[in-house]
Structure 1
Amino acid sequence: MQKQAQLNRTEFEDQDDEARVQYEGFRPGMYVRVEIENVPCEFVQNFDPHYPIILGGLGNSEGNVGYVQMRLKKHRWYKKILKSRDPIIFSVGWRRFQTIPLYYIEDHNGRQRLLKYTPQHMHCGAAFWGPITPQGTGFLAIQSVSGIMPDFRIAATGVVLDLDKSIKIVKKLKLTGFPYKIFKNTSFIKGMFNSALEVAKFEGAVIRTVSGIRGQIKKALRAPEGAFRASFEDKLLMSGECLEYFYNPVTSLGEKDTWSGMRTTGQLRLTHGVRLKANKDSLYKPILRQKKHFNSLHIPKALQKALPFKNKPKTQAKAGKVPKDRRRPAVIREPHERKILALLDALSTVHSQKMKKAKEQRHLHNKEHFRARQKEEEEKLKRQKDLRKKLFRIQGQKERRNQKSSLKGAEGQLQ
């Protein structure tokens, strides 16, 4: 295309614009006047020159309405997550409309499983009833176009995958049957068994719905085949997940700041001041924790014998109590016994003084011996060093003599 445009530019460079338009069409950047017939009078009445109008066109197949599947991802700057069955405004191709999408994720077996909310940082599928759009068309979604929003953010972006094709979105169910008649606490369920004999085998069995309502299988019905009557704790609801036929084009040319369309449940609660009833189990309560009393560690005697000494429990006397070996009456000695005890104390003092002096003398002797050994080691190292110097000197003299003799021999040969 670039080469063709370059050839056209060089070929028709000298001609005027009217002739060039007849051959190569309108070039980008040229001013074109477009005349549109049968324009509604509301367009002229609500025309605002300060509000830009984009001119576009639709293909032949884009006028139909059907099921549209797309790959969608919540925008990372959007503060909330999107909820299934909440109205949202899509801008797809040349259209901008409000619809009610269902979000789903495709399992490995090809089944589309319904999601209540969009994933936080991951793509998911979305399906809605709206205008047929070619595959690969990009789109963006916004929550509202009414009023001036200071914290305006794009809600989601994605691309169209498939169109004009019915889609089956399922919930994760543990029961394959579904109710076809619902009373207060009783329901008729079909599609779970194939015959009355199978129902008879499971009479009295406990069943549970997707929403968590528990029930019990009571008795088989005559028709249809395999249907049965079951009793539940509460009244059931028809929970078939099908797409709503809701497609509302956004006509905000005359209502630029007031067009709102369908509102979400949260927006309606905020407008009418309706508050949700607080769940008592979700309210904050003071935490009262009972103090735990731990029993003292008891190690059996057989296990104490096998433990190493450092891990054995140490028996320590409690403070304030006198050990049993000290709980003896005071002994009053006789005068003769006192003299013997004083003599023994004096002898022990003399002996301890002698041992102390001997220890000091032995320490001094060891110190002197260490100094003498150190001095001998230094002299020995000095002698070894002098001997190495003499050996290296003699070896160097021999090498110099050999070099002189080799030089004399070389000079004689040269002569």
Structure 2
Amino acid sequence: MDDESRVQYEGFRPGMYIRVEIGSLPCEFVTNFDAHYPIILGGLGSSEGNLGYLQMRLKKHRWYERILKTKDPLIFSLGWRRFQTIPLFHMEDHNGRHRLLKYTPQHMHCGASIWGPITPQGSGFLAVQSVTGSKASFRIAATGVILDLDKSVTIVKKLKLIGYPFKIFKNTCFVKGMFNTVLEVAKFEGASVRTVSGIRGQIKKALSSPAGAFRATFEDRLLMSDIVFLRSWYPVSVPQLYNPVTSLLLPAGQKDSWSGMRTLGQLKHDLGIRNKPNPDSLYKPVVRAPRRFNPLHIPKELQKALPFKSKPKQQQPKGRTPRDLQRPSVIREPHERKVAALLHALSTVHNYKRKNAHKVQHAKHKEFLQQKEKDEEAKLKRQREAKKKLYRVMGQKDQKKQRSSLKGAPSDL
């Protein structure tokens, strides 16, 4: 059977030369064709030509040196396509919320959302950051698998709103600076707020003035120095970027020099832009004004129920003695000075004699205690000797009774 008839039955056999005609190709593919550069042909399904949102599970390769950043462009090799897109990395919390990640975690999987061609679920992929040139280090940045093909996943990031109290009525407080309009306050009615000191509260209703102010209730009374903040979540949209890798359209010898969108770090490096430090992040000396606390006020009914030890004592603080109550200085007469000197001399002699008498009395008491201790020891010794003598006599009597009991009573003749 000739080859033409055989091909109609079993198809083209491996090793046969065939001619393929492809329409709508760019002219650069023909003009820059390089026979030394291999080309692999593949086919796509009818539904794989559309673009949409893809949900995938991704893990940074352990041999790749750098971590991957959200919204940095990556080149994906997915199915028969190589394209550049901007992924958003996220992690699913225990409550089902998909929280945006700034960087990929180390040695862990995370979720990723991209805009790209529709690919069957379960398809594997790999990602690189650049296909330009040949690097000495490891180039594969991440690997993963396709999970879903819809936009059902909503990625959110944390948003913290800060406000300051401007009127305080017991546990109710008026807060300003957190919102700009009454409509914004209406969207957050009933939301939980919290102060830096840990007092929890709730947004109640918007105020007419100033714009964006609202009334909130808290568990405890606030201070004017407190800061009120609201923790919320803001939805993030996936960038719709799909940039196919067109390396086959480049001239011969330049097939490996295709470069797509640059990352933010590469742009700053190429343009010589340096990040300016945030003034709030710099270390500076902390100067705090001394805080003055209000005096403790205890209701009278509560004071009656308290024990005496805990009741507030109504004592006036000891202040400075008025000049009219101060004792005036006394200037003595010559005769009074002589009498005072004589009394001082007599008191000195009396104190000296009393001190000597105390020393003699202490020595006598010490001797008495020593003699008493000796007498106690002699008494205990006599008692031990008397007990020994008594026990000796009692033991001899017991031995006599035992010997007499062993001989028995005299028999009658």
Under a length normalisation based on structure 1, what TM-score does the superposition of the two structures give? Answer: 0.50
Amino acid at match of 1:244: P
Q: How does 1:176-195 map to 2 (within 5 A)?
A: 187-188=180-181
Q: Residues 207, 99 of structure 1: CA spacing in aligned structure 2 closer, same or farther, 3 A cutoff?
A: farther
Task: Check the 8 A contact 1:132/1:164 in 2, yes or no.
Answer: no
Amino acid at match of 1:242: S
Is 1:136 aligned with 2:122? yes
SS of 2:140 mapped into structure 1: coil
Q: Residues 49, 72 of structure 1: CA spacing in aligned structure 2 closer, same or farther, 3 A cutoff?
A: same
**In 2: Cα distance, 1:80 partner to 1:195 partner:** 40
**In 2: Cα distance, 1:119 partner to 1:259 partner:** 29
Partner of 1:77: 63
SS of 1:43 mapped into structure 2: helix
Match among 234, 249, 252 for residue 254 of structure 1: 249
Amino acid at match of 1:271: D
Partner of 2:274: 275
**1:184 positional shift:** 9.0
Is 1:127 aligned with 2:113? yes
CA shift digits 1:224-252 (9 cap, x unpaired): xxx95479999xxx954111112122222
Match among 99, 102, 106 for residue 113 of structure 1: 99
Partner of 2:86: 100
**In 2: Cα distance, 1:152 partner to 1:248 partner:** 23
Task: Check the 8 A contact 1:103/1:126 in 2, yes or no.
Answer: yes
Q: How does 1:177-256 map to 2 (within 5 A)?
A: 187-188=180-181, 220=206, 228-229=212-213, 240-255=235-250, 256=255
SS of 2:145 mapped into structure 1: strand
Is 1:25 aligned with 2:11? yes
**In 1: Cα distance, 2:74 partner to 2:182 partner:** 35
Task: Check the 8 A contact 1:217/1:228 in 2, yes or no.
Answer: no
**In 2: Cα distance, 1:126 partner to 1:26 partner:** 41
**1:104 positional shift:** 1.3
Amino acid at match of 2:245: V
More helix by share: 1
SS of 2:243 mapped into structure 1: strand
**In 2: Cα distance, 1:67 partner to 1:274 partner:** 33
List alignment gaps of at least 5 residues for structure 2: 162-175, 197-201, 216-226, 284-413
Is 1:90 aligned with 2:85? no
Partner of 1:159: 145
Is 1:168 aligned with 2:168? no
Partner of 1:62: 48
Task: Check the 8 A contact 1:73/1:123 in 2, yes or no.
Answer: yes
More strand by share: 2
Task: Check the 8 A contact 1:92/1:140 in 2, yes or no.
Answer: yes
Amino acid at match of 2:96: G
Partner of 1:264: 263
**In 2: Cα distance, 1:189 partner to 1:145 partner:** 52
Task: Check the 8 A contact 1:67/1:166 in 2, yes or no.
Answer: no
CA shift digits 1:276-334 (9 cap, x unpaired): 235799999xxxxxxxxxxxxxxxxxxxxxxxxxxxxxxxxxxxxxxxxxxxxxxxxxx
Q: Residues 37, 262 of structure 1: CA spacing in aligned structure 2 closer, same or farther, 3 A cutoff?
A: closer
Task: Check the 8 A contact 2:91/2:98 in 1, yes or no.
Answer: yes
Structure 1 residues 28-37 or 124-133, which shifts more?
A: 28-37
Partner of 1:7: none
Partner of 1:318: none
**In 2: Cα distance, 1:219 partner to 1:44 partner:** 69
Partner of 1:408: none
Q: Residues 23, 277 of structure 1: CA spacing in aligned structure 2 closer, same or farther, 3 A cutoff?
A: same
Under a length normalisation based on structure 2, what TM-score does the superposition of the two structures give? Answer: 0.50
Structure 1 residues 55-64 or 15-24, which shifts more?
A: 15-24
Amino acid at match of 2:262: R
RMSD: 4.1
SS of 1:31 mapped into structure 2: coil
Q: Residues 272, 195 of structure 1: CA spacing in aligned structure 2 closer, same or farther, 3 A cutoff?
A: closer
**In 1: Cα distance, 2:181 partner to 2:30 partner:** 59
Equivalenced residue count is 247
Q: How does 1:308-327 map to 2 (within 5 A)?
A: none
CA shift digits 1:146-198 (9 cap, x unpaired): 234332511111111111434201235688xxxxxxx99853476776797x5
SS of 1:261 mapped into structure 2: coil
Partner of 2:338: none
Partner of 2:311: none
Task: Check the 8 A contact 1:67/1:164 in 2, yes or no.
Answer: yes
Task: Check the 8 A contact 1:219/1:228 in 2, yes or no.
Answer: no
**In 1: Cα distance, 2:107 partner to 2:63 partner:** 11
**In 2: Cα distance, 1:194 partner to 1:187 partner:** 12
Q: Residues 280, 157 of structure 1: CA spacing in aligned structure 2 closer, same or farther, 3 A cutoff?
A: same
Task: Check the 8 A contact 2:91/2:111 in 1, yes or no.
Answer: yes
List alignment gaps of at least 5 residues for structure 1: 1-14, 176-182, 209-215, 285-415
**In 2: Cα distance, 1:146 partner to 1:195 partner:** 49
**In 2: Cα distance, 1:60 partner to 1:188 partner:** 50
Q: Residues 195, 276 of structure 1: CA spacing in aligned structure 2 closer, same or farther, 3 A cutoff?
A: closer
Q: Residues 170, 32 of structure 1: CA spacing in aligned structure 2 closer, same or farther, 3 A cutoff?
A: same
Task: Check the 8 A contact 2:55/2:113 in 1, yes or no.
Answer: yes
SS of 1:23 mapped into structure 2: helix
Q: Residues 39, 278 of structure 1: CA spacing in aligned structure 2 closer, same or farther, 3 A cutoff?
A: closer
Percent identity between the aligned chains?
66
